[in-house]
Amino acid sequence: MQTEEVHQGRTFVLRLEHKDIVHTCIEDFARDKGIRAAALIILGGADQGSRLVVGPEDDLARPVNPAQTALEVAHEVAGTGTIFPNQQGEPILHMHMACGRGDATRTGCIRSGVQVWQIMEAVLFELTNCRGQRIPDPDLGFMLLQLPK
């Protein structure tokens, strides 16, 4: 396990608008505000055609080949995530959402493109004194959070 003690900085409330792409909007906001690391919660609606990574196609394959699904219609969503910079200092959002409609729910990573249906609301908690980075892991094919030793 890797750990690092950090502190809470600024807190922001964001309203994402109809057709916004969630990860793009949040990463752009973080870049504009100089946010290096953060934790987020989000809720609202995801539009039809939104894509989720829902697991690996083969649990044992390396690098991992992500399985994806698309929402056929609008869904209610609740999600949580983190932002940490890559090696170039760019903020990278890692967020998972539960997307439900009726009695069915799909949960996955939003990196493939979740589009807002009408509105999403997010609360972003900046983390300061944090040196963590997302570093490429060639074996898995993911950008993994690495904390300093």
HSE-up (13 A, CA, CB side) for residue 37: 18
Q: What is the pLDDT of residue 15?
A: 98
1-54 pLDDT, tens digit per residue, is 999 999 999 999 999 999 999 999 999 999 999 999 999 999 999 999 999 999
Q: What is the pLDDT of residue 132?
A: 97
97-133 pLDDT, tens digit per residue, is 999 999 999 999 999 999 999 999 999 999 999 999 9
63-108 pLDDT, tens digit per residue, is 999 999 999 999 999 999 999 999 999 999 999 999 999 999 999 9
Between CA 142 and CA 39 the distance in angstroms is 19
Q: Is the previous residue joined to 138 through a cis bond, with omega within 30 degrees of 0?
A: no
**Averaged confidence pLDDT in the chain:** 97
Q: What is the pLDDT of residue 149?
A: 84
Helix (H, G, I), strand (E, B) or coil at 29: helix
Q: What is the pLDDT of residue 139?
A: 94
